[in-house]
Amino acid sequence: MAENTVKVDISFQSLLEAISSLEIAEKQKLWELLEAELFPDDEDSPEDIAEIEAARADYKAGEYTTFHQYTTQRARKST
């Protein structure tokens, strides 16, 4: 079966604006597509995939520490 392609000339700024208007699920799909395009030869093990999915789930659930929180906690421990 022949693959149909369309090439569109769109400015990078317009692309950024379009991406920012996407819903989270659409951005996730875009992220996965870009990751596959940028790193086609990276073969993740099932363990790696499970860790990545767990980290994404934690982040989505709000279970993460910002860099600012981390540095504040480290500063408190060292005093």
Rounded percentage of the chain residues whose pLDDT exceeds 70: 96
Average pLDDT over residues 26-35: 92
User: Would 7 be classed as within a structural domain?
Assistant: no
Domain assignment of residue 18, given as a range:
12-78
User: Would 16 be classed as within a structural domain?
Assistant: yes
| Amino acid identity for residue 42 in this structure | D
- Lookup result for tokens 């692309």: 15
- Rounded to whole angstroms, what are the CA distances from 58 to 31, 34, 51, 55, 67? 17, 22, 10, 5, 16
Report whether pLDDT(3) > 80. no
Number of domains in the chain: 1
User: Would 68 be classed as within a structural domain?
Assistant: yes
pLDDT tens per residue across span 38-54 = 887 767 788 888 999 99
User: Would 4 be classed as within a structural domain?
Assistant: no
- Quote the tokens at residue 39: 């790193």
User: Would 38 be classed as within a structural domain?
Assistant: yes
User: Would 6 be classed as within a structural domain?
Assistant: no
Average pLDDT over residues 56-77: 91
pTM check: above 0.75 = no
User: Would 69 be classed as within a structural domain?
Assistant: yes
Report whether pLDDT(16) > 90. yes
